[in-house]
């Protein structure tokens, strides 16, 4: 899809021509971003995965589940066990 608008909480991506969906900032990459514009710009082509719809019927998308080079779906991230530490 194509990034059509960047906002503080994510990016709106147009896919299938008529639909726009939101990629929440937490679904852009597997790391914390200060702002979506750190890694995205309007007009940029990206690969997205449809996550579903929110309670208002808005489309929810994710980028971090798709290889941005090939468009191939990535295996799910292993769940963190309680007690695992990111500082290792």
- Amino acid 67: pLDDT: 97
- Amino acid 75: pLDDT: 87
Q: Which fold has domain 2-62?
A: OB fold (Dihydrolipoamide Acetyltransferase, E2P) (2.40.50)
Mean pLDDT, the chain, integer: 90
How does residue 84 score in pLDDT terms, banded at 50, 70 and 90?
Answer: low
Average pLDDT for residues 64-84, to the nearest whole number?
82
* C-beta of residue 62 within 8 angstroms of C-beta of residue 51: yes
Query: 70 or 19: whose pLDDT is higher?
Result: 70
Give the percent of the chain with pLDDT over 90.
77
pTM, 2 dp: 0.83
15-26 pLDDT, tens digit each: 888 889 999 999
The domain spans of the chain are 2-62
HSE value, Cβ hemisphere, 13 Å, CA-based, for 2: 7
Among 30, 33, 38, which residue's Cα sits nearest to residue 63? Answer: 30
* C-beta of residue 1 within 8 angstroms of C-beta of residue 46: yes
DSSP 68: T
CA dihedral over 23, 28, 33, 38, signed as positive or negative: negative
């Amino acid at each position: 899809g194509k990034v059509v608008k960047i906002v503080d909480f994510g990016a709106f991506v147009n896919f299938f021509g008529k639909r726009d969906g939101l990629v929440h900032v937490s679904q852009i990459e597997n790391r914390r971003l200060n702002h979506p514009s750190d890694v995205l710009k309007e007009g940029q082509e990206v690969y997205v995965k449809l996550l579903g719809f929110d309670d208002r019927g808005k489309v929810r998308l994710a980028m971090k589940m798709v290889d941005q080079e090939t468009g191939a779906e990535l295996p799910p991230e292993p769940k963190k066990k309680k007690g695992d530490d990111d500082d290792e």
